[in-house]
Amino acid sequence: MDPKFQRMVLSDGHFIPVLGFGTYAPEQVPKSKAMEATKIAIDAGFRHIDSAYFYKNEKEVGLAIRSKIADGTVKREDIFYTSKLWCTFHRPELVRPSLEDSLKKLQLDYVDLYIIHFPTALKPGTEIFPTDEHGKTVFDTVDICATWEAMEKCKEAGLAKSIGVSNFNRRQLEMILNKPGLKYKPVCNQVECHPYLNQGKLLEFCKSKGIVLVAYSALGSHREPEWVDQSAPVLLEDPLIGALAKKHQQTPALIALRYQLQRGVVVLAKSFTEKRIKENIQVFEFQLPSEDMKVIDGLNRNFRYVTADFAIGHPNYPFSDEY
């Protein structure tokens, strides 16, 4: 098999391509860009596409996937598509309708993976970030295990082949894993992960439970001012990563992506730039020796780009625990 189609088995027996294409872009970027970039990504060899209700681009990403099926580049079963349940839909009765809404926008019959985007529930309604008269986010109280049971029903209905979570800490993963009557474990936990936040402990825990860790912001994040402190260090300008790139005649981005694959992490890479999309798939063309992996491990400083301040103060805010 072509190395760029490399996959990892999930605990429910389905397979996930180890390199995924990220589609999140700031609000001001036209959604048509997500469509163009997704088509380029599929042409380049990406088979795993990551999106979400929250990204407001599922119509365009669905169009891109369907056009690549229509022109014969891929079959539906070649594509692994992930969508995410947004925080305003955590109440169990809202879970399936939310997935059905995504499917309608996508014009697909199923998603390959449906994940709880973030463990904090927000007040249900049409606003992504419901706020009170003081501009403060309005939280909701929903038992995360009840949300999970509704996710299990989506899998049983065939609307999602696999189900998982995102931005969960160890304690929250354990809550689900220890839930009485659990039918399906989360197949993955999609979290921020890169050399400055390498998630070593969470990765070890996930591996011990058969949960695949999926890395987002693996290139140092989109650095959108609304989400990321602009004084945060620029990962791809790190001198050590730069030196390794030079040594291996690769780019810093490829070093950051390759690092994840070699530690058993599924990695997402977002780019809406054709040249970089084609560059990122070259991650399968080289290897890092163990001494260089250790050098990258040494860069860890538990530095988080995306602190998700909207959820601070919620009892399920995940980033206060050590991991």
Catalytic (active-site) positions: 55
Which of 270, 283, 288, 311 is close enough to bind ligand NAP by CB under 6 A?
Answer: 270
Of the candidates 120, 221, 260, 316, which one interacts with ligand NAP according to CB under 6 A?
Answer: 221
What are the C-alpha distances in Å from 281 to residues 46, 98, 197? 7, 32, 23
Q: What is the dihedral of CA 261, 31, 223, 172, to 10 degrees?
A: -60
CB of 235 to ligand NAP, least distance (A): 8
Closest CA to 237 of 278, 197, 286, 195: 195
Q: Specify the residue, 93 or 261, whose C-beta has the smaller distance to ligand NAP.
A: 261
Per CB under 6 A, 220 contacts ligand NAP: yes
Longest CA–CA separation in the chain, Å = 57
Is residue 316 a contact residue for ligand NAP (CB under 6 A)? no
SS (H, E, C) 44-57: HCCCEEECCHHHCC
Footprint on residues 153-172 left by ligand NAP (CB under 6 A): 166-167
Q: Find the shortest distance in angstroms from Cβ 188 to ligand NAP.
A: 10
Q: Does position 48 bind ligand NAP by CB under 6 A?
A: no
Return the H-helix or E-strand segment holding 111.
Answer: strand 111-116
Tokens of 230: 């602009």
Say how many residues touch ligand NAP, by CB under 6 A: 28
Q: Which of 81, 205, 216, 284 binds ligand NAP (CB under 6 A)?
A: 216
Token pair 């980033």: residue: 319
Interface residues toward ligand NAP, by CB under 6 A: 22-24, 50, 117, 166-167, 190, 216-222, 236, 251, 253, 268-273, 276, 279-280, 306
